[in-house]
Chains A and B, each alone.
Chain A
């Protein structure tokens, strides 16, 4: 009994409620003629789409920079990489590789500046990060109009300048990862092996990094800055490195998302993309200053499970689509819960 209570305490009520909610959705689904196999398949695909963006939270949480509400900055680096790869007319799988390569310098540059900024505002990183994300998205809105892109697949047809709001990745890197070693189980259950493998690869690198000397140093900076300084770790440098890593992961994350989703969304597209990623990792059991790869995997699965299951089950159950509202309440409720935990407030 004590053990159960301890488990509940360590796992946290909100996560248990969310887990049970998802479980009940899966149990209810067959009674309302919802195809469970399709739902699971959708969940897996969404897991692959969003996993890396959730993983992008990990380095910054480890170094004590808090939740990366500035994820849109990384996404913008990814968008620049993707659009440049198309602009230079790379096609097929090469375009995906080039998109990653082209996004990297932007991610490093943005992350470096962003990291320097966050070092100046220790203690209220999250608020500043939110607004760095917003203002960079708004700034790029102007840039998408002004930058001299001229690939006919991307610019507005009648004006000849300015990028479109959505650009199809078809013919470029659409499904390059999804279709790699893809297999089907039965009629409806599709497994996008390549995308999952790519996530696993990056997640493994992340895990390995966190066990190297620099990775341990990063964790030390996050959990006890005074101790870290005493053991000769350059705190600011370590934090900047973590922010660069987060930004880069955000950039790669959006490219993986686009190759599966099929469209590059510019302008206000990346605006609210940080919130789902933040709440996913929190649902997975992370807190404002503690996160692991397991949290990422569990959290992304639970969050995306809810996002896929609620519309279909709710729709057939009460004939109304309340999924959007449920998603808003669940994800923001989770963030609130994490922000108000007493044990973590005194860092």
Chain B
């Protein structure tokens, strides 16, 4: 009678399956590190740098997942808003931490508006939020180009000639962010075992983590989780579903804007027309590598994900070169892995969702059968 119930073996299998992506990546990195020949000190330093650089952006993804809207491919919107803020402070020549803060302040209303727009559109496309947010990213990229490539310098005054294309309007392909380069990272850098640690950046990220943990417990956070669990039940409970969903996207977009500014202050140069396009994909891939799924992600997933994903990123070109003698192969390999891991995570999520439904149905049927038996 009890063969339908979960056995211990099934439980272990399901735990293994749930963590299959991080396990796979750990194995891969363990194989790749000796092949690449990098020292552990170098790798440690690189990972610390990349955690500081990318975590903020990835944490921005957590809020819409909480609200059941899946992976927010629309985070590129926030990235664009952040870049617009950076272009302005580069033009006005505001340096250091004040510059960064001002860029964040400028980006906030733009992100909020774009996030609101994105949320509105996503409410019209319930059930396919991910593909819609993905296309919104492309669409707003067109508008961004219109503004930055044609509007800036002609309609929007830009007075620094170093920023403007020779033809007199439009921003150059690369903007030098020397004025804020590594200001946050160097604010409070300490060295431990030869690895320099950007304490200030990590503190900011920690503050954000605490904010997310706190936010989950607020009324709004609880509402979001309810909406994420079941739209109709939440609506019946009197939660303004549409409004909550919009708020979650707005919040995510604003955080993504800040994240982009933190990211670019570490990089030091802004690729005006490319920086934002890749960032969504890399952040999402990193989060998924950390063991997150489309409907569940934690702060732990973020840090595990950044470490494993970027370890793979650092190691694979040289590993590819040493193994097959072709560095280009490693480059392609990491692109393939980034896309592949998103594909696999999406497929696994869908398959698991369907199987859980059938299993829940079977368990329910079993319970009912047991009840009938007990009565007899």
Contacts and interface: CB of A to CB of B under 8 A. Distances in A.
A124 B128 CA distance: 7
A322 B145 CA distance: 10
Nearest to B333: A142
Contact of A146 (B131, B132, B329, B338): B329
Contacts of A69: 131
B332 A131 contact: no
Interface in A187-242: none
Given A126-B131, A131-B343, A275-B138, A340 B332 contact: no
Looking at B136, B324, B343, B351, which has the most chain A CB atoms within 10 Å of its CB? B343
B149 interface: yes
B135 A128 contact: no
B251 interface: no
Nearest to B343: A131
Contact of B347 (A121, A162, A324, A335): A121
A335 B332 contact: no
Interface string B117-156: 0000100111110111011101101110110011000000
Given A69-B131, A336-B135, A342-B124, A141 B142 contact: no
Contacts of A98: none
B273 to A, nearest CB: 10
Nearest to B340: A135
B141 to A, nearest CB: 7
Contact of B128 (A120, A121, A127, A145): A127
Given A127-B130, A322-B150, A339-B128, A328 B339 contact: no
Contacts of A141: 332, 335-336
A325 interface: yes
Given A120-B351, A121-B347, A325-B150, A332 B339 contact: no
Contact of A328 (B136, B145, B342): B145
A124 B346 CA distance: 9
Given A124-B130, A124-B350, A332-B135, A138 B335 contact: yes
B328 interface: yes
Contacts of B329: 142, 145-146
A152 B139 CA distance: 42
Given A130-B131, A325-B149, A142 B336 contact: yes
A26 interface: no
Contacts of A145: 326, 328-329, 332
B350 A339 contact: no
Nearest to B121: A340
Given A124-B128, A345-B125, A320 B150 contact: yes
A325 B128 contact: no
A326 B130 CA distance: 24
A132 B131 CA distance: 13
A134 B339 contact: yes
Contacts of A135: 336, 339-340, 342-343
Nearest to B342: A131
A30 interface: no
Given A120-B347, A145-B329, A138 B132 contact: no
B13 to A, nearest CB: 19
Interface string A335-347: 1100110100100
B141 A328 contact: yes
B312 to A, nearest CB: 14
A2 interface: no
Interface residues of B, number: 39
Interface residues of A, number: 37
Contact of B343 (A123, A132, A320): A132
A132 B339 CA distance: 8
Contacts of B339: 131, 134-135, 138
Contacts of B336: 135, 138-139, 141-142
Interface string B316-355: 0000000010101100110110111011001100110010
Contacts of A320: 150
A221 B225 CA distance: 35
Given A134-B339, A325-B149, A333-B139, A121 B124 contact: no
A132 B351 CA distance: 15
A329 interface: yes
A320 to B, nearest CB: 7
A301 B12 CA distance: 56
A167 interface: no
A117 interface: yes
Looking at A124, A127, A335, which has the most chain B CB atoms within 10 Å of its CB? A127
A325 B125 CA distance: 25
A120 B346 CA distance: 11
A209 to B, nearest CB: 27
Given A128-B347, A135-B343, A336 B121 contact: yes
B332 A138 contact: yes
A336 B132 contact: yes
A345 B231 CA distance: 15
Interface in A161-194: 162
A14 to B, nearest CB: 13
Given A135-B340, A138-B340, A322-B150, A127 B326 contact: no
A345 B141 CA distance: 25
A142 B327 CA distance: 11
A332 B142 CA distance: 9
B350 A345 contact: no
B340 A121 contact: no
Nearest to B140: A332
A329 B128 contact: no
B347 A117 contact: yes
Nearest to A132: B343
B164 to A, nearest CB: 14
Looking at B142, B328, B354, which has the most chain A CB atoms within 10 Å of its CB? B142
B350 A335 contact: no
Contacts of A332: 135, 138-139, 142
Contacts of A127: 128, 130-131, 134, 346
19 contacts: A117-B347, A120-B350, A121-B347, A123-B350, A124-B127, A124-B350, A127-B130, A131-B346, A135-B336, A142-B329, A145-B326, A322-B150, A325-B142, A328-B142, A329-B142, A332-B138, A332-B139, A333-B139, A340-B125
The 5 A-B pairs of least Cβ separation, nearest first, read A328-B142, A138-B336, A329-B142, A340-B124, A121-B350
Given A134-B339, A138-B336, A145-B326, 6 more contacts: A120-B351, A121-B346, A124-B127, A138-B339, A145-B329, A329-B146
